[in-house]
Amino acid sequence: MSVTPLAQACTDTKQELTLPSEAYRQAVDQADLAISITDQKAKILFANEAFSRVTGYGRDEIVGQNESVLSNHTTSGEIYQAMWGELSAQKPWSGKLLNRRKNGDLYLAELTISPVVDSTGITTHYLGMHRDITELHQLERAVQNQKHLIESVVDAAPIAIALLDPSARVLLDNLEYKKLVTDLGVKEPAHMLLDSLAPMWRESLAGNPKGCSFFNREVRIDRPAGRARWLSVTTSVIDMQSNCADSYFCATGQPGLLLAIADVTNLRDEQERTRAAVLQAVLAEEERTAAIREGLSAAIFRLEEPMNVMASAISVLQRRDPAAAEMLQQALSSSREHLESLRKVIPQSPQEIVVRVNVNEILRDVLEVSTPRLLGAGVTVDWQPAATLPPILGRPLQLRMLFKALVDNAIEAMNVKGWKHRELSLTSAVDHECIIVSVLDSGPGIPEDWRHKAFEPFFTAKGGSGRHIGTGLSRVQQVVADHGGIIDLDESPSGGCAAIVEFRIDGDPI
């Protein structure tokens, strides 16, 4: 049979590719890994150079010994049992053992043992490969200790800390931050705070992280029950090294946003108490001035009625009795002059500058100032603020007067003898670029046909006690309009009055 040139070439190539057994032996001998081959009872038959280097035993000393000569006898028996269990089942085993060198030094060995199985299926030998990983282990421990230390320090910090990656995931936080999650009842307080303090933070974080770094910005968190909470937030951008394999040769980093959140509620409460006392005095003064203003306006309004009658009488008398008409005209002119003088002494409302106002703060102030009246009238308050509100541009005193007037009206409506259900519900919410405040009472309500009239000056549905001259709601409407908003009266779910005030977030006050 003739051999084709192609078959001959393949045979030649195979012969060239066969590894001489000597090369094989040298490769194992010179490998930089401690290699040993044992019999079935772990008696060493062969050990390479690296084995001698690692263990300190010369080749002649070690051959014929059991591998157990390396044992420090402190590795748990369970580990050996597991090892031999695997090997008996002809499976390789890998693990870490504490070994002792010839000179008595201990080292941590990372060992892999593979059974060598002959053609009849019997384990004839074991191949052991190990390396000294003591330094690596020390390094790992040092990193772990460092990590533990950092975590302990971060956890012991009296401020909440959270680190966000560019996709806004929280990579690291501390105990105080976890407490915030429970206290505020939100999944990620960091997101909520950033939404409130830097609305474009997500876009910034991905593209220009420096754009969302700021220092000590305060945010007020309102909760239905309990006092408002004040948090001061500082953010800074830090570089984080990537641990992905593809960044092994080029140290690419990614920015992280570190939030440090301090609770400044106590400090703020202190300031608030002082402010509330001043505010109470300012509001009382403004109310007194407003009462004088309204009293005088009402007096002028009422005096104008008889003067109009006099003017009609004059035109009738002018033909019949010119002398009497002349006298009456003089009296009318002098009355008009007095009325004008009276008009001039009406105190003007104070001129306030426009500032950024948090409507929740205004409502809180109003509730605080109204507490004695609410308690006196036995009214329970259901305060449901939006957790955070964007600011609007406005005049704080005017806004306080506006909501105080609505709360006063509500209290008055419910504070009648025999009226049982007395509840004031105050809510704030954000909806379609608007801040909506609802003041709902459980009083008798305003009949539908009176709801528009209620905003007319001097309209009053209250009895003739003389105290009510009906300028409250017209003034309220004026303030709302001055702030570019709208107000509506409706029926509350309990049948009482619902006053709904809406301000545009970007609305300009007049």
Chain positions contacting ligand FAD, by CB under 6 A:
36, 38, 41-42, 66-68, 70-71, 73, 75, 80-81, 84, 88, 97, 99, 109, 111, 113, 126, 128, 130
Smallest distance, ligand FAD to C-beta of residue 188, A: 49
Whole-angstrom Cα distance, residue 128 to residue 69? Answer: 14
**Closest approach of ligand FAD to the CB of residue 69, in Å:** 8
The least CB distance from residue 100 to ligand FAD, in Å, is 9
DSSP state of 441: E
The least CB distance from residue 156 to ligand FAD, in Å, is 41
Name the nearest CA neighbour of 122 among 169, 98, 88: 88
Tell the smallest beta-carbon distance from residue 233 to ligand FAD (Å).
55
CA 137: distance to chain centroid?
A: 40
Indicate the DSSP class of residue 70: G
Q: How far is the CB of 60 from ligand FAD (least distance, A)?
A: 19
Q: How far apart are CA 280 and CA 282, in angstroms?
A: 6
In sequence order, the β-bridge partners of residue 255 are: 239
| Amino acid identity, position 148 | H
In whole angstroms, give the CA distance from residue 243 to residue 477. Answer: 61
List alpha helices for 345-416, DSSP H.
359-376, 396-414
Identity of the residue, 38 or 425, whose beta carbon is nearer to ligand FAD in the bound complex: 38
Pick 100 or 504: Cβ nearer ligand FAD: 100
Dist. CA 105–CA 355, nearest whole Å:
75
Residue at shortest CB range from ligand FAD: 128
Supply the minimum distance, in Å, between the C-beta of residue 141 and ligand FAD.
21
Cβ proximity to ligand FAD, 61 vs 269, nearer residue: 61
How far is the CA of 360 from the CAs of 274, 366, 436, 484, in angstroms? 18, 10, 11, 18
Distance CA 206, CA 166 (A): 5
* Minimum distance, C-beta of residue 41 to ligand FAD, in the bound complex (Å): 5
Question: What is d(CA 185, CA 199) in angstroms, rounded to the nearest whole number?
Answer: 20
CA distances from 326 to 216, 305, 307, 313 (A): 75, 20, 15, 11
Nearer to ligand FAD, 73 or 420 (CB): 73
| Residue 40 or 234 with smaller CB distance to ligand FAD | 40
Pairing between β-strand 123-132 and β-strand 106-117 as defined by DSSP bridges: antiparallel
CB of 163 to ligand FAD, least distance (A): 42
The C-alpha atoms of residue 333 and residue 205 are separated, in whole angstroms, by 73
| Residue 128 C-beta: closest distance to ligand FAD, Å | 3
* Closer of 71 and 280 to ligand FAD (Cβ): 71
Element (H, E) at 22: helix 21-30
Rounded-to-integer distance, Cα 258 and Cα 170, Å: 10
Between 66 and 334, CB nearer to ligand FAD: 66
Alpha helices, DSSP H only, in 105-216? 134-156, 175-184, 189-197, 201-207
- Residue 108 β-bridge partners: 98
Q: How far is the CB of 38 from ligand FAD (least distance, A)?
A: 5
Taking the least distance from each CB to ligand FAD, the nearer of 99 and 235 is: 99
We find the least distance from the C-beta atom of residue 94 to ligand FAD, in angstroms, to be: 12
Nearer to ligand FAD, 97 or 180 (CB): 97
DSSP 159: S
Name the residue nearer to ligand FAD (CB basis): 93 or 403: 93
Bridge partners (DSSP) of residue 275 are none
In terms of CB distance, is 112 or 280 closer to ligand FAD? 112
| Edge-to-edge strand ranges of the sheet holding 217-221 | 170-173, 160-164, 253-263, 229-241, 217-221
Between 66 and 371, name the residue whose CB sits nearer to ligand FAD: 66
* Residue 83 burial class via C-beta count within 10 angstroms: exposed 0-12, middle 13-18, buried 19 and up: middle
